Amino acid sequence: MLEQAKNELLSRVGPGTPMGNLMRRYWMPIAGVSELEQNPIKAVRLMGEDLVLYRDRAGTYGLVDRQCPHRRADLSYGFVEDCGIRCNYHGWSFDESGKCTEQPFEDVANPDARYRDKVRITAYPVEAKAGLLWAYMGPAPAPLVPNYEPFLWKNGFKQIVISEVPCNWLQGQENSIDPVHFEWMHRNWSVRLRGQTGPYSPRHTKLAFDEFDHGFVYRRVTEDTDESDLLWTIGRTCLWPNALYTGDHFEWRVPIDDENMLSVTWHFARVPKEQEPYEQTTIPTWHGPIVDELTGRWISTHVMNQDFIAWVGQGKISDRWNEHLGSSDRGVIMVRKRFFEDLERVARGEDPKAIVRDPKANECVTLPVANRRSLVEGMTRAELEAHPFAGFRLYPFQAGQPDDVRRAYEEAMGFTSATPPIDSVLAQLASAAATVERPKAKV
């Protein structure tokens, strides 16, 4: 259990809170580049702050306070100019640094006063990397946006999926260090959701948790594997401070505020060798629904939708003082301990864990990858279609993939037969969910 005061300390991320100060030391993925290609202005809420993300006509990105400092009008209804964003109420404009660049009436009526030089708007740096837009809300100098190895991989179809989940971000992140939930939530529950009573997944028999520079690794042995298995020798990554990395995708849990998070997924699907070379011109971004419109219940048909159900089921902010942790929760305990240590580091004016400042080290930030060979070198189409998980025609992680994204994926993969019905994919999910976490040694 975690006493209530400490639970509050880890959960609260608003301006001026200890955890808010810690999380603001990291770049956060907040949108897809392709989103602003369609509409250059997007209202966002991050760590309790209401902001506006934009791309001006020169291609520069900005993130500013949502309220114009003149008369507090909503800048998400403004419009972009060659430099910056302009308020639609009285025309005041601001650049990406927060500088007021024009006040149309004041500049004409009182040009010598230069009143615009006395007004600024809160602004945060934005960088584009790997098809994502990243924001930094902490003190200068900002660290580097980590250049993770998968961002450099070739011959892959990439997509970004975003969902708003109504619970605290830490509930999602603690899921990133919880291997046993795969056995029950993603395999066994999928069996029951299909109206069957078995067979159930092989049980976990051994777990290990190790810390490294960029987070933690969890390792496992199940009844049908041994210590030669890649998920024991290499494992999976709880990426610091707020993500999961499984090999073919990242899942970030970005705090919207204390009671809501943004789930941001970056997914890489290696195309068959017959499709090489493959160059993707635009990485699509789509928003995944979490509620079934017909029933009003949480969607439970896809892997991450199942995760969301576990997280929101704990409440807006989990009452961890009522927990009863077991030995499988050692990783959760380690993560919490590390966060408390990082809070102390930040209070001393030091960098927390996993901050990247060395440009040379950031040329390629390597992470543990159990199925590296299949992702980097690829498989033939026959090998891919025979694979129990990699050969899926429909995106298995979240519901709601748009038809145009699905068609682009099928074209990239070279799939020519008709897309299978959703029920056949769900049946495969039940039997193959463990394979996501248990790749064979040859891949």
Query: Per-residue pLDDT tens for 365-385?
Result: 999 999 899 999 999 988 887
Report if residue 222 sits inside a domain. Answer: yes
Beta strands 79-80 and 123-124: pairing type? unpaired
Does 189 share its domain with 299?
yes
Q: Which two tokens stand for residue 228?
A: 């030669």
Specify the pLDDT at position 370: 92
Does 232 share its domain with 294?
yes
Query: Angle formed by the axes of helices 422-437 and 303-312, to 10°?
Result: 70
Report if residue 423 sits inside a domain. Answer: yes
Report if residue 3 sits inside a domain. Answer: no
Between CA 232 and CA 239 the distance in angstroms is 18
What is the domain count for the chain? Answer: 2
pTM of the model: 0.94
Say yes or no to pLDDT of 27 above 90.
yes
Report if residue 416 sits inside a domain. Answer: yes
Beta strands 285-287 and 156-165: pairing type? parallel
CATH number at residue 32: 2.102.10.10
Does 119 share its domain with 168?
no
Domain span including residue 309: 149-437
Does 108 share its domain with 207?
no
Q: Which two tokens stand for residue 281?
A: 């011109």
Query: Per-residue pLDDT tens for 235-255?
Result: 999 999 999 999 999 999 999
Among 108, 115, 130, 109, residue whose Cα is nearest residue 32: 130
CA Rg, the chain, in Å? 23
* Residue type (1 letter), 94: F
Average pLDDT over the chain, rounded to an integer: 93
- Alpha helix stretches (DSSP H) within 348-419: 372-376, 381-386, 403-413
Phi-psi region of 249 (alpha: psi -120 to 50; beta: other; left: phi over 0): beta
Does 116 share its domain with 256?
no
Specify the pLDDT at position 429: 58
Specify the pLDDT at position 428: 57
Give Cβ neighbours of residue 109 (< 8 Å, ≥ 6 apart): none
Does 198 share its domain with 107?
no
State the burial class of residue 126 (Cβ atoms within 10 Å of its Cβ: 0-12, 13-18, 19+).
buried
Query: Per-residue pLDDT tens for 272-281?
Result: 999 999 999 9
Report if residue 264 sits inside a domain. Answer: yes
435 — pLDDT class (breaks 50, 70, 90): very low
Among 263, 302, 294, 322, residue whose Cα is nearest residue 392: 302
Among 1, 383, 214, 56, residue whose Cα is nearest residue 64: 56
Q: Terminus-to-terminus CA distance in the chain, angstroms?
A: 39
Lowest mean pLDDT among 44-48, 386-390, 392-396: 386-390
Cα–Cα distances in angstroms (integers) from residue 217 to residues 246, 271, 303, 322, 325, in the given order: 10, 27, 20, 27, 19
393 — pLDDT class (breaks 50, 70, 90): confident
Does 347 share its domain with 205?
yes
Report if residue 11 sits inside a domain. Answer: no
Does 365 share its domain with 394?
yes
Does 307 share its domain with 171?
yes
Domain end call among 135, 169, 200: 135
89 touches 68 (CB < 8 A): yes
Between CA 169 and CA 264 the distance in angstroms is 12
Does 113 share its domain with 261?
no
Say yes or no to pLDDT of 48 above 70.
yes
User: What does residue 172 show for φ and ψ, rounded to 5 degrees?
Assistant: -70, -40
379 touches 248 (CB < 8 A): no
- Alpha helix stretches (DSSP H) within 194-286: 230-233
Does 286 share its domain with 386?
yes
394 — pLDDT class (breaks 50, 70, 90): confident
Domain end call among 82, 109, 135: 135
Domain end call among 135, 170, 185: 135
Does 238 share its domain with 370?
yes
Give Cβ neighbours of residue 416 (< 8 Å, ≥ 6 apart): none
Host H or E run for residue 434: helix 422-437
Region 55-80: what's the mean pLDDT?
98
Report if residue 159 sits inside a domain. Answer: yes
Report if residue 10 sits inside a domain. Answer: no
